[in-house]
Amino acid sequence: MRSTWILRGARSFLIAAVFAAGYLCGSVSHPVAQAQLGELGGAAMEKAAGSGGAVGNVAQMGTALSEMEQHLSGLQKNLDSLKKVKAMLGG
């Protein structure tokens, strides 16, 4: 009876150790996901947008969203600049 509990405990420990080792190795060696397409991705989206159909509509929406994101980041930079000027003026 006692040996059964010892075997179960050892098996549970072994499973936990293998999981922990896999998690550690995976988190250390896994690179951060980044969009690496650059201009190629934009050209592919524009080409897909012109194809029509469901894929074309989704591609048009994707290009519109990416353009909106660029405009928003530009507006955010302008807002930050205005805040800096306001702080310099003492307001």
Helix ranges restricted to H, the chain: 2-29, 39-49, 53-89
Residue 56, token pair as written in the block: 């074309």
Cβ partners under 8 Å of residue 57, min gap 6: none
The pTM for the full model equals 0.40
Q: What is the mean pLDDT of residues 10-35?
A: 83
Note whether 62 and 68 are within 8 A (CB).
Answer: no
Place of tokens 């075997």: 7
Note whether 62 and 46 are within 8 A (CB).
Answer: no
pLDDT, one tens digit per residue, over 46-91 is: 666 666 677 777 777 877 888 898 899 999 999 999 999 989 898 6
Domain ranges of the chain: 1-30, 39-91
